[in-house]
Amino acid sequence: MFIEDDGIKLVAKLDMPAPAEGKHPLVIIIHGFTGYKDEPHLLAVSKALNEIGCATLRVDMYGHGASGGEFRNHTLYKWVTNALTVIDYARSLDFVTDIYLCGHSQGGLTVMLAAAMKHDAIKGMIAMSPAWMIPEAARNGTLLGESFDPEHIPDELPAWGGRTLGGNYVRVAQTIRVEEAIDRFAGPVLIVHGDQDGAVPVEYGIRAAQRYRNSKLVLIQGDGHCYEHHLDQAVKAVRDWMKEKV
Ligand code: FER
């Protein structure tokens, strides 16, 4: 199925808990940069949440997976407005009680920003390896392992896997102040981060957990960006945290 955001089709998958009857909390799950909704770590989180009575809604964001838009044209503003649209879609479903957000990496940054904007509609948030260094790195000219002049941003940057990213991605990212967003969300937050993450340094997970007013931090020892080694531990952290809420 898809959710339409101003003419862009966002492909999404809604998974219900068993039994499906009655009302349930819903967790919106958002992938990272170059990711998609069916990545193994997202499927594992989704399944675990279904098992404890939560519905899940995994969404391909602008320019990613099967959704509309070109990768090179995606920006954090587009992802954030996508997230706001998906939240409104979730609010329109009559089986939904509380809405939670869960995002991985750039999706983690996206849910941090969206939770701040819609804090009255979001019960809680899970940020997995949240890539909230992106705005700072864009201001410093050090994104994607490349250096550039942050005052003279190239029109195109090489991204992972032979992809090309438009310079407007950087221009948008430079304007975002994540600390302000953190301070605008007072609900419960779970941060999960592998301490060997090579894409997003674990210090960012630690600093986010310190700054959120109501947070829990789970560090996964010896694990990387997508929980390649201890996915079971990352999933357990999400399940245990969520189980206390439902
Ligand atoms: C970067 C490092 C990490 C970056 C993006 C990420 C755009 C995001 C990772 C992810 O979402 O998995 O330099 O630049």
pLDDT tens digits, one per residue of 36-60: 999 999 999 999 999 999 999 999 9
Atom of ligand 1 nearest to the CA of 131: 8
| Peptide bond preceding 19 in cis form (omega within 30 of 0) | yes
Q: What is the pTM of this model?
A: 0.98
Confidence of residue 163 (pLDDT cuts 50, 70, 90): very high
Which of 76, 98, 104 lies closest to 187, judged by CA? 98
* Mean pLDDT for the chain overall: 98
- 23 CA → ligand 1 middle, Å: 36
Confidence of residue 9 (pLDDT cuts 50, 70, 90): very high
Identify the residues whose C-beta falls under 6 Å from ligand 1. Answer: 32-33, 105-106, 131, 134, 137, 143-144, 199-200
Q: How far apart are CA 195 and CA 192, in angstroms?
A: 10
Best mutation site among 60, 109, 134, 168 for ligand 1, i.e. most ligand atoms within 8 A of its Cβ? 134
Q: How far apart are CA 153 and CA 155, in angstroms?
A: 6
- 92 CA → ligand 1 middle, Å: 32
Best mutation site among 106, 133, 148, 160 for ligand 1, i.e. most ligand atoms within 8 A of its Cβ? 106
Give, using CA atoms, the residue closest to atom 1 of ligand 1: 144
Confidence of residue 14 (pLDDT cuts 50, 70, 90): very high
Q: How far apart are CA 196 and CA 99, in angstroms?
A: 31
The whole-number pLDDT of residue 112 equals 99
pLDDT tens digit string along 80-135?
A: 999 999 999 999 999 999 999 999 999 999 999 999 999 999 999 999 999 999 99
Give, using CA atoms, the residue closest to atom 13 of ligand 1: 144
- The token duo for 128 is 């997995």
Atom of ligand 1 nearest to the CA of 169: 7
Atom of ligand 1 nearest to the CA of 109: 11
Q: How far apart are CA 201 and CA 71, in angstroms?
A: 24
Confidence of residue 19 (pLDDT cuts 50, 70, 90): very high
Q: What percent of the chain has pLDDT over 90?
A: 98
Three-state DSSP state, 27: strand
What is the average pLDDT across 216-244?
98
The whole-number pLDDT of residue 203 equals 98
Three-state DSSP state, 43: helix
The whole-number pLDDT of residue 66 equals 98
The whole-number pLDDT of residue 229 equals 98
What is the average pLDDT across 189-213?
98
- 131 CA → ligand 1 middle, Å: 6
Confidence of residue 65 (pLDDT cuts 50, 70, 90): very high
